[in-house]
A and B are shown apart, each in its own frame.
Chain A
Amino acid sequence: MITYALIFAFASYGLALLMNLYRVMTGPELSDRILALDTMVINAIALLILYGILRGTAVYFEASMLFAMVGFISTVAYCRYLLRGGIIE
């Protein structure tokens, strides 16, 4: 039963990543692209944890933790660059 639920979750998160990619490519504004990239990072974290459940190992938690931190920092840096013209003043 868990296997079928895992397959469903994998399929829906893969489809969600494709939707985010569409928004990144055709976003009419810059803020849409940043938002879609941030959502891609969050969906990739979910996919990593699902893969960890599938393989039965806890190795992927560190990877997803790093992914969350790097995604947050890069989003904030991009917004900061657009707002102020520089990241570190």
Chain B
Amino acid sequence: MALWAEITISLLLVIAGFFGLVGSFGLIRLKDAMSRLHAPTKATTLGVGGVLIASMLYFFAGQGKVSAHELMITLFLFLTAPIVAHFIAKVHLHLRERPEALPRPADNAEWAGFAAETPARGARRTKVEPADTDMAD
């Protein structure tokens, strides 16, 4: 294998490992649930992207094959990471925050996530009861 390929692959692998470690360290280091959402969904996606590019380069330089599987995995992860982050933020908003405690939206409108949410049949009550308001802060 050529020297430039070895150097590039090693650099990509080290960067990817570092970013994976940083993303998971932020998951246990940050205090708030909403700030914890920030660390892994960005940094770990970058780490996995580095690993996938390194793998693509490795198989191209070693065996001369160009494979599109890595690009598919990268595309899938980049598409799904914002959706997952949105869903988890919404779960946190509905289970732990009250609409009165949040800042008001513009034009004196309601929060769209709370206004559009009509509970389905048999749904659990997501409104915080007055007994456990000490957990809301």
A residues contacting B by CB (< 8 A) are 1-2, 4-6, 8-13, 15-17, 19-20, 22-23, 28-32, 34-36, 38-39, 42-43, 45-46, 49-50, 52-53, 56, 58, 61-62, 64-65, 68-69, 72, 75-76, 79-80, 82-86, 89
Instruction: Closest B residue to A72 by CB, please name it.
Output: B80
Using a Cβ cutoff of 8 Å, how many contacts connect chains A and B? Answer: 176
Asked if A29 and B92 make an inter-chain contact with CB atoms under 8 angstroms apart, the answer reads yes
Asked if A23 and B119 make an inter-chain contact with CB atoms under 8 angstroms apart, the answer reads no
Which residues from 1 to 44 on chain B have a C-beta closer than 8 Å to any C-beta of chain A? 6-7, 9-11, 13-14, 16-18, 20-21, 23-25, 27-28, 33, 36-37, 40-41, 44
B residues contacting A by CB (< 8 A) are 6-7, 9-11, 13-14, 16-18, 20-21, 23-25, 27-28, 33, 36-37, 40-41, 44-45, 47-48, 51-52, 54-55, 58-59, 62, 65, 67, 69-70, 72-73, 76-77, 80, 83-84, 87-92, 94-96, 117, 119-124, 126
- Knowing A46-B48, A56-B62, the reply to whether A1 touches B73 (Cβ < 8 A) is no
